[in-house]
């Protein structure tokens, strides 16, 4: 048994935080985060090169060779940035898939140790949804959002540093609207947590109703009932559609 499996066995019943999940594939996540930071740093290099090219061309004695050299540096930075970004996303996906594999193995191992009364209190639909859908939903965050979040966290301070180096007055002018931007964002996301809870609840109800419908499909065919007679599934789907339409109008 590998070290990762041993670690999973020792912590079978211990809840995992985001940091704990990252520790399931620490090397690949560290590489993904490092590449994301490097990609962010390289994204500022072409802008600095454009600034230097403008300085060279607007000087009393323009130097075409120096401008070309700065242009080559900018092109190199763009290519290296895309290489670092690609490596970051590839390693993040590999790390996320390894995380899902270990987490599902952990859950399956735990289900083999719980008493039978546990299964009488939790339907197979809930367990399947947890093992498949809920765990699978983590892939979107760790494979996509994690590198993007690192870039989003690193870019603003780096940009401000560069702006203050170039011209502190223009930097202050750029910073001035930020409080209004934060206020507008807070107003736009009001109630988002409650709406997300509602959406997850509707997804769970649809999943349960669909499983019940599949289990009763033999009865439906035997007695010639239509899907509309299975009211729970139909109502849940229509409620979800109305909720999405109302959310889109807002």
For 205-215, the pLDDT digits (tens) are 887 777 777 77
Residue 73 has pLDDT above 90, yes or no: yes
pLDDT for 220 equals 64
CA distance 46 to 157: 17
Q: Is the pLDDT of residue 148 over 90?
A: no
pLDDT at 12: 44
Last residue of a domain, one of 176, 202, 237: 176
Which pLDDT score, from 0 to 100, does residue 159 have?
Answer: 85
Residue 58's CATH number:
1.20.1560.10
Query: Looking at the structure, do residues 11 and 68 belong to the same domain, yes or no?
Result: yes
Q: Which of 12-21, 51-60, 74-83, 148-157 has the highest mean pLDDT?
A: 74-83
What average pLDDT does the chain have? 79
- pLDDT score at 3: 42
User: Residue range 137-142: average pLDDT?
Assistant: 75
CB < 8 Å & 24+ apart, contacts of 240-247? 240/202, 240/203, 240/206, 243/198, 243/199, 243/202, 247/195
The Cα 129–Cα 132 span in angstroms is: 5
Residues 13 and 124 in one domain: yes
Q: Name all contacts of 223-229 with Cβ < 8 Å and 24+ positions apart.
A: none
* Residue where a domain terminates, one of 141, 176, 211: 176
Both 71 and 102 in one domain: the answer is: yes
pLDDT at position 158 is 85
Whether residue 213 sits in one domain with residue 168: no
Say whether both 51 and 143 belong to one domain. Answer: yes
pLDDT at 71 over 50: yes
Judge whether residue 1 has pLDDT over 60.
no
Structurally, the chain folds into a number of domains equal to 2
Instruction: Note whether 101 and 186 are same-domain residues.
Output: no
Is the pLDDT higher at 131 or at 62? Answer: 62
Q: Residue 108 corresponds to which tokens in the numbers above? A: 């399956």
> Closest Cα partner for 162 from 49, 83, 63?
49
pLDDT given for residue 6 in this prediction: 42
Q: How confident is the model over 154-198, as pLDDT tens digits? A: 888 888 888 888 888 888 888 888 888 888 888 877 777 788 888
Residue range of the domain that includes 77: 1-176
| Nearest-angstrom CA–CA distance, 111 and 229 | 35
If asked whether residues 127 and 3 sit together in one domain, one would say yes
Where among 112, 141, 176 does a domain terminate?
176
Count other C-beta atoms under 10 Å from residue 51's C-beta.
14
């Amino acid at each position: 048994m590998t070290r990762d499996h041993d670690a999973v066995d020792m912590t079978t019943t211990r809840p995992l935080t985001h940091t704990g999940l990252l520790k399931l594939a620490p090397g690949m996540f560290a590489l993904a985060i490092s590449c994301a930071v490097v990609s962010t740093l390289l994204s500022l290099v072409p802008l600095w090169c454009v600034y230097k090219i403008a300085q060279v061309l607007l000087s009393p004695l323009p130097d075409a060779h120096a401008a070309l050299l700065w242009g080559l540096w900018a092109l190199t930075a763009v290519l290296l940035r895309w290489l670092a970004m690609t490596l970051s996303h590839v390693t993040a996906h590999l790390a996320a898939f390894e995380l899902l594999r270990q987490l599902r193995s952990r859950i399956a191992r735990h289900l083999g140790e719980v008493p039978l009364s546990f299964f009488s209190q939790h339907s197979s639909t809930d367990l399947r949804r947890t093992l498949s859908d809920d765990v699978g939903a983590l892939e979107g965050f760790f494979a996509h959002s994690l590198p993007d979040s690192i870039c989003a966290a690193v870019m603003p301070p780096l940009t401000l540093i560069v702006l203050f180096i170039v011209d502190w007055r223009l930097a202050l002018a750029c910073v001035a609207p930020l409080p209004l931007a934060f206020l507008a964002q807070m107003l736009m996301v009001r109630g988002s947590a409650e709406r997300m809870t509602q959406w997850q609840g509707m997804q769970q109800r649809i999943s349960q109703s669909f499983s019940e419908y599949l289990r009763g499909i033999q009865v439906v065919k035997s007695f010639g009932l239509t899907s509309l007679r299975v009211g729970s599934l139909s109502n849940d789907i229509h409620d979800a559609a109305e909720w999405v339409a109302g959310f889109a109008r807002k």
